[in-house]
Amino acid sequence: MKKNRTFKKSFYAKYKREIECYGLLAIPIILFAMFFLYGFFRGFVLSLTDFHLDYLHEGVRFVWFRNYGQAFRDKFFWKAMGNTVIWTVVMLVGNNGFGLMMALLIKRLHKGRGFFLAGLYWPCLVSAAVGMQITLFLFNPTDAGILNVIAKALGGKARGWLIDKQTALLSLMILPFLTGFSMKMMIFYSGLLSIPKAYYEAASLETNSRAQIAFKITFPLLTPVFFFNILLSVIEGLRVIAPMQLITPDNDYTMSGVYYLYRSAFKYQNFAYAFALGFILFVIIISLSLLQEKLKKDAVVYE
């Protein structure tokens, strides 16, 4: 008995650090399993049924992949996905372009870097609801909208910015396009700081061209950051919902894939179909992430 206690003490003393680490990791792993993995598999099972709140009294039956077939034939869903792709591409180009430009400019400053970083980061601290209220204030389709007031003052006509087929999606994108670069800027700036100064010192012996230094040193060494920001932009774009939900609900011209999923579940009570749409979006995001990971192996330069 005494030997057994000695063995336990020596085992704990030898692996004390590992035991404590696994003990701490057990908490988030258990929570992850409870609130994500269970919900994930439960949702997939429900996507194979006809689970609909309006007909719940009739029971739930397995229809297998009928919901997925319906999704692929649903022209409204693919119209919403088309809007989502447009949003994703525009935000990817705009947010990363502005973010990189601001990071490069701030990096060149000798003083005041912290001030400009803090000032340009503040849009990240503003909630989506506030940002959408600003958009509504500017692009209100009534005569009270700022742009319509300006247009009428200049002799023009008021436009239905958020309800017109040609301008609705564009009106929603302008504010996030101009102000959504803050997080990308911080990531690019961190990447720029991680590039050793020795590379620039060596390059200065060969050329004084900033363009050559940028394209031969800065941008190649930033490829891991480029891929990371692109992946974040793609995921953020594919799951966009707030602008469509808060400003233009039920507008087919601005409907996103995630908002169409939300409407299918909570407006039309068709939860099984919504689960199927969710898993289609999940497969799209995972596929794009794996494709980017494949491309990154061949393109990333670490040193």
- 56: Cα within 13 Å, side-chain hemisphere: 8
* SS3 call for 179: helix
At 236 the pLDDT is: 93
At 8 the pLDDT is: 53
At 16 the pLDDT is: 77
Residue 5 pLDDT class (50, 70, 90 cuts): low
At 186 the pLDDT is: 94
Nearest Cα residue to 100 out of 228, 240, 289:
228
- Measured CA to CA, the distance from residue 226 to residue 12 in angstroms comes to 45
At 58 the pLDDT is: 80
At 96 the pLDDT is: 95
| Range with the poorest average pLDDT among 54-63, 65-74, 78-87, 171-180 | 54-63
Mean pLDDT of 247-273: 91
- Measured CA to CA, the distance from residue 80 to residue 89 in angstroms comes to 14
Q: Is the pLDDT of residue 299 over 60?
A: yes
* SS3 call for 48: coil
Q: Is the pLDDT of residue 10 over 80?
A: no
Fold of 78-299: MetI-like fold (1.10.3720)
Is the Cα torsion angle 252, 159, 136, 168 positive or negative in sign? positive
In which residue are the tokens 């609130």 written?
A: 35
What are phi and psi for residue 236, nearest 5 degrees? -60, -40
Residue 9 pLDDT class (50, 70, 90 cuts): low
Residue 296 pLDDT class (50, 70, 90 cuts): confident
The whole model's pTM is what? Answer: 0.86
